[in-house]
Amino acid sequence: FFSPISAAAAMFEKQIVVDGRGHLLGRLAGTIAKELLCGQKVVVVRCEEINISGSFYRNKLKYLSFLRKRVNTNPVRGPFHLRAPSRIFWRVVRGMLPHKTARGAEALRRLKVFEGVPAPYDKVKRMVVPQALKVTRLRPDRKFCTVGRLSHEVGWKYQDVVATLEAKRKAKSAAYYAQKKVAIKTRAQAVANTAKATEQFTKNLAKYGF
């Protein structure tokens, strides 16, 4: 179901859809930032399932420290503290791009980020980035947390909404896959049943490379 992004295949696709689940935040952002600068359009779904190394408590303290940083005389000037998981990931990628130059700004425009898997990306093949996966980069005994939980604790209000929509999507996807398996099995059976009757035609077609 998931395919890794390879160096050869990753370049110059019309659009790459990456499933954020199980990836480490910084490593995924670094890989995607390089692709964006090369001109590749990237969509990242399930940003709430992206992992951050280190315990949840430690990461929450870091984010609460970040929330205190502001322009003292006029907080409207920034920095702006984004709460949604997709926007947190977007900001991490932005920090890895020269976003104040025309080249960096164009690269950032090629990135789309979402919580969950909205349409039409629920019917599109989703990729993974092997060098950014938690299972390949983090020792099993090390602590980690998810961006979704961190966002929920610092003010993101839509954790339950996204969870409900994702449960519906997964149920619909499971039903579709079950139907697809039946169709594949039926077709294979039909081919086997008619193999003898169509043997002569198959031989004739084989001569011409079909």
pLDDT tens-digit map of 173-191:
999 999 999 999 999 999 8
pLDDT tens-digit map of 30-72:
999 999 999 999 999 999 999 999 999 999 999 999 999 999 9
- Per-residue model confidence (pLDDT) at position 12: 72
180: its two tokens: 């697809």
Between the alpha carbon of residue 147 and those of residues 20, 49, 78, the distances in Å are 10, 6, 22
Predicted structure pTM score: 0.85
Segments of the chain assigned E as strands: 3-4, 16-19, 42-45, 51-53, 111-113, 127-128, 144-146
How high does pLDDT run on average in the chain?
92
Alpha carbon distance 176, 173 (integer Å): 5
Nearest to 44 by CA among 104, 139, 108, 102: 108
109: its two tokens: 């425009």
